[in-house]
Amino acid sequence: MAITFDRQVSASPDDASRRLAPDWFSTTIIYASVGDLSDSTYDYRAGLRFANVTIPHGATIVTAYLTLKARVLTGTIPASTLEGEAAVDAAAFSTAVTTMGGPGPLQT
C-alpha cells in the first residue's frame, strides 16, 4: 500500500543557515541561502529537519522529493550536494556555529 504525504519545516530549530566566512549562524531564517560565492569555499550552507514524519520499521521509501527554488542566481549555476541523516529522532539545530561544520558533511 503506497502512502503519499507532504511535509515542510515548521519551527525555527528545524531549519538553519550558516555563512562560512565571516562565520555566521542562525535558526531564525526566513529563507535558507546555499551556494558558492568564491572558488575557495562553499560560502553558504543550510540544514532542514522534518519533524513528525513517521516511517514504519522495515518500510521502503520508493521516491522522495525536495523542492528548492532559486531566489537569486549570479554567475554560473551552482553545483549542489544533498545529504541526509538516518535517525529515529534527529536533533534540532542548536544555536552554536559548530552545528553545521566546515567543508564536508553537515554535522548535527
Q: What is the pLDDT of residues 38-63, one digit of tens each?
A: 665 557 788 888 877 888 888 888 88
Q: Residue 5: is its pLDDT beyond 70? A: yes
pTM of the predicted model over 0.85: no
Q: How confident is the model at residue 100 (pLDDT cuts 50, 70, 90)?
A: low
**Which residue in the block uniquely carries the three cell numbers 546555499?**
34
Q: From edge to edge, which strands make up the β-sheet containing 15-20? A: 23-26, 15-20, 44-48
**pLDDT value of position 96:** 58
**pLDDT value of position 68:** 75
**pLDDT value of position 106:** 39
